[in-house]
Amino acid sequence: MKIDFLTKAFLGNPLTDWLISLGIIAITLIFNGLIAKLASKASYKFFKNVASPEFYQEFSRLFNQPFVNLINVIAVFVACNYLVFPKEWDLAHVSDFGLRWVLHALFTVVLIYTITVLFLRVTDFMEYVYHNREDGHTSKDLTTFIKELSRVLIYIISFFAILAKAFEVNITALVTSLGIGGLAIALAAQDTLANLIGSFIIYLDKPFQVGELIEVGEIRGTVEKIGFRTTRIRTLDKSLLIVPNKKIIDSNLNNIAQSTQRRVRFVIGLTYQSKSDSILNIVEEIKAAILEEDPITAHEMTVRFLDFDSSSLNLLVIYFVNSNDYNLMVEIKEKINVKIMEIVNRNGCEFAYPSQTIFLNKQN
């Protein structure tokens, strides 16, 4: 009697087959976490030549959930293989369009997607390793670029795999049929290709790196990210500019972060009532004031009586701060500016400002 009950059919399948299918899914849901950890531990052996044991925690964090998803997908597939559709439904064969074909295509897409996620996690882990290795000599920007390029290739391969396996598209015929259409697309996307080539040039030539302060044309700011098509620059007023890579490589670029000095230049205007000997004294004392900040300030400087302006006698002051630190430059400039004010006052001169002097001739 008990055996007859187990052999009773439900939706075209014996009860034993239903129990086996549900048992497979139940066991998988209970033990998928443990199986995923074992799979992660076994997979980590493939990275032992590049990754140290201390990186396993990050590896486990990245791969445990993708392995759980893959195990669940495989378990559902195995469980469903124990079941068949009722004959009275008269469904089309899996090779013909219908419910069987849709379910097969859906499973293939999900399976390829879960495998794709695993390969994407490999790129994330390799980037993490090369960013955190003590003996690493590879540029962080370069490893990020390689990661992004690898991800693009993985997406492309996965896309064609879905077309071939899930929808049975002839990839060779598809690529051949692009022909003139592919050429038209390439012409339409030439700016995108130029920006992609620009990203390669930036990573290979390394004119700047992420985190450096640069100046491109009228744009000045800190590089936040170098992408395939654009570079993100955070300007000094904290706005984010997205600059095409082609524009960067075609423009004159000033990498401020890699300069060893900061240049200070300004003009001092004195009133026309200033005497020549006082002006010469001011020039010499300004030079001495700059040298007092040695070694922060360089010995190379220019302090000269420059020209006669419409309302002032102009002195040109140029000196260099031996540091790339902007805040230090501002601090030194403040000190020297205060000394210049004291020097001008001590020599009996005054700073000029835009003004006009009218002389009246008294007549008898």
In tens, the pLDDT along 23-36 reads: 999 999 999 999 99
Q: Which of 120-129, 136-145, 231-240, 282-291 has the lowest mean pLDDT?
A: 136-145
Give the architecture-level CATH label for domain 262-346.
2-Layer Sandwich (3.30)
Query: Which structure tokens are listed for 363?
Result: 């007549």
pLDDT at 344: 94
The answer on pLDDT for 1 being more than 50 is no
* Neighbouring C-beta atoms of residue 347, cutoff 10 Å: 17
Q: Which of the pair, 350 or 191, is modelled with greater confidence?
A: 350
Of residues 91 and 184, the one with the higher pLDDT is: 91
Taking the model in full, what pTM does it have?
0.60
In the DSSP assignment, the letter for residue 53 is G
Which of 255, 323, 269 has the alpha carbon at shortest distance from 293?
A: 323
Q: Which two tokens stand for residue 262?
A: 């900061």
- Does the structural domain 194-258 have CATH classification 2.60.290.11? no
Calculate the alpha carbon distances from 245 to 134, 145, 206 in Å.
31, 14, 13
Residue range 245-302, pLDDT digits in tens: 888 888 888 888 888 888 899 999 999 999 999 999 999 999 999 999 888 999 999 9
Mean pLDDT of all residues in 172-197: 63
- Domain segments of the chain as ranges: 2-186, 194-258, 262-346
Structure tokens at 123: 């790129």
Residues of the chain above pLDDT 70, percent? 83
Cross-sheet strand order for the sheet of 230-235:
240-244, 230-235, 219-226, 213-216, 253-255
pLDDT top residue among 63 and 135: 63
The 262-270 sheet, strands edge to edge: 262-270, 313-321, 297-308
- Whether a cis peptide bond, with omega within 30° of 0, leads into 295 is yes
DSSP 8-state class, residue 237: T
Strand partners, 215: 220, 254
CA–CA dist 225, 73 (Å, integer): 36
> Which residue type is seen at 263?
R
Taking every pair of Cα atoms in the chain, the longest distance, rounded to a whole number of angstroms, is: 145
Contact 79, 21 (CB under 8 A): yes
pLDDT 10s digits, 53-105: 888 888 999 999 999 999 999 999 888 887 776 676 666 666 667 777 888 88
